[in-house]
Amino acid sequence: MPMTDLPEPAWPTAPTPAAGGTPAVLPPPRWSPARLAYWFYTVAAAGAVIGQTWVAVTHIPWNSSLPTAARVAAVLPFALCLEMLAMALAAMADQRMRLGERAYGFRVFSTTVAAVAVGILIAGHWPHLYWSAGFGLLSAAAYLLWLLHAAARRRDALRATGKLADTAPDYGLWRRLRYPLSTARAAELARTGTHDPHGRWRPLGLHESLEAAQRAIRADKRRPAIAKAVEQVVRADQADPLMAEIAVRTIDMDRLAADLADQIDYTTWTARLAPAITALPAAQIEQRASWPKNGGSPAGSATGGDADRPDLAEDETSDSRQPPVDLMRQIPIQQEQYQTWQTVWADLSTHPDEPLDTIGARHRISRRQVERIRRAGEFGLLNWPIPPARLMASMLADGHLTGPPLTPGAQQPPPTTPDDAANGSTSRGGVPPMADNGGTPPT
How confident is the model at residue 393, as a pLDDT?
74
What confidence category does residue 104 fall into, taking pLDDT thresholds of 50, 70 and 90?
very high
Residue 253, pLDDT score:
77
Cα(412)–Cα(404) distance, integer angstroms: 11
What is the percent of the chain with per-residue pLDDT over 90, rounded to a whole number? 5
- What b/e sequence results for 376-409 when a residue is b if at least 16 CB atoms lie within 10 Å of its CB, and e otherwise? bbbbbbbbbbbbbebbbebbeeeebeeeebbebe
Q: What's the alpha-carbon Rg for the chain, to the nearest Å?
A: 43
| pLDDT tier at 106, thresholds 50, 70, 90 | very high
What global pTM score does this model have?
Answer: 0.45
pLDDT tens string 297-307: 444 443 344 44
The DSSP symbol for 306 reads G
Helices and strands (H, E) in the chain, number of each type: 18, 2
pLDDT band for 283, please (50, 70, 90 cuts). low
Exposure string for 118-149, b = 16+ CB within 10 A, e = fewer: bebbbebbeeeeebbeebbebbbebbebbbeb
**Digit-coded pLDDT (tens) for 236-268:** 888 888 888 888 888 887 787 778 778 888 888
* Confidence check: pLDDT of 73 > 80: yes
Q: What is the mean pLDDT of residues 303-324?
A: 47
At residue 436, does pLDDT exceed 70?
A: no
Instruction: Give the DSSP per-residue string, 307-353.
Output: GGSPPPPHHHH-TTSPPPHHHHHHS--SHHHHHHHHHHHHHHHH-TT
Between CA 326 and CA 334 the distance in angstroms is 17
Instruction: Check whether 277 has a pLDDT greater than 70.
Output: yes
Query: In angstroms, rounded to a whole number, what is the distance separating the alpha carbons of residues 212 and 182?
Result: 10
pLDDT at 209 over 80: yes
Residue 409 has what DSSP assignment?
T
Closest CA to 95 of 163, 158, 166, 144: 158
| Position 296 pLDDT exceeds 70 | no
Contacts of 294 (CB under 8 A, 6+ apart): none
pLDDT digits (tens, 9 = 90+) for 126-174: 888 888 888 888 888 888 888 888 888 888 888 888 778 778 888 989 9
* Best CA proximity match to 141, nearest among 268, 45, 219: 45
Mean pLDDT value across residues 370-380: 87
pLDDT greater than 90 at residue 108: yes
3-state DSSP call for residue 95? helix
Residues with Cβ < 8 Å from 289, sequence gap 6 or more? Answer: none
> Which 8-state DSSP code applies to residue 201?
E
Question: What are the residues whose beta carbons fall under 8 Å from the beta carbon of 75, sequence distance 6 or more?
Answer: 52, 53, 56, 57, 60
Q: What is the mean pLDDT of the chain?
A: 74
